[in-house]
Amino acid sequence: MREIKFRAWDKQANCMIGGGGMQLNATTGTLDSLPSVVVMQYTELHDKNGREIYEGDIIVAEYHWEKPHMIELPEDYYWFSEVALEDGDMEVIGNIYENPELLRE
């Protein structure tokens, strides 16, 4: 059975929220209780340290990218599920909301 989980970045409170009680409105793509948040879906995959990987996470994969890369679904799903995880070199180092500086050159 597929595990569907979300976390969200609250733009007003400037913090990450997740877990129970979040109800995603499938029509609008927002959380009914918190319309000021950005929703990120869990990929069902883990990095080399066992950390869950979500949309918006910034990863390093030494043998695939020269610099940190932000995960976007569905574009990256095949690549990192089939290639990077086999190599075991992928690591989550942050996310686009809490660590945007990781993507700057």
pLDDT, tens digit (0-9, with 9 covering 90-100), for 10-65: 888 888 887 555 566 656 655 666 667 788 888 888 888 999 989 999 999 877 77
The residues, ordered by sequence, that sit 6+ positions from 103 with a Cβ below 8 Å of its Cβ are: 58, 67, 68, 70, 96
How much is the pLDDT for 6?
80
How much is the pLDDT for 56?
93
Q: Is residue 1 part of a domain?
A: no
Q: Is residue 90 part of a domain?
A: yes
Q: Is residue 20 part of a domain?
A: yes
pTM exceeding the 0.75 threshold for the entire prediction: no
- Tell me which residue range forms the domain holding 40: 6-103
How much is the pLDDT for 35?
65
Q: Is 87 helix (H, G, I), strand (E, B) or coil?
A: helix
The residues, ordered by sequence, that sit 6+ positions from 59 with a Cβ below 8 Å of its Cβ are: 47, 53, 68, 69, 70, 71, 80, 84, 90, 91, 92, 93
Q: What are phi and psi of 52, to 5 degrees?
A: -65, 145
Q: Is 70 exceeded by the pLDDT of residue 85?
A: no
Number of domains in the chain: 1
How much is the pLDDT for 27?
63
How much is the pLDDT for 100?
93
Q: Is 60 exceeded by the pLDDT of residue 102?
A: yes
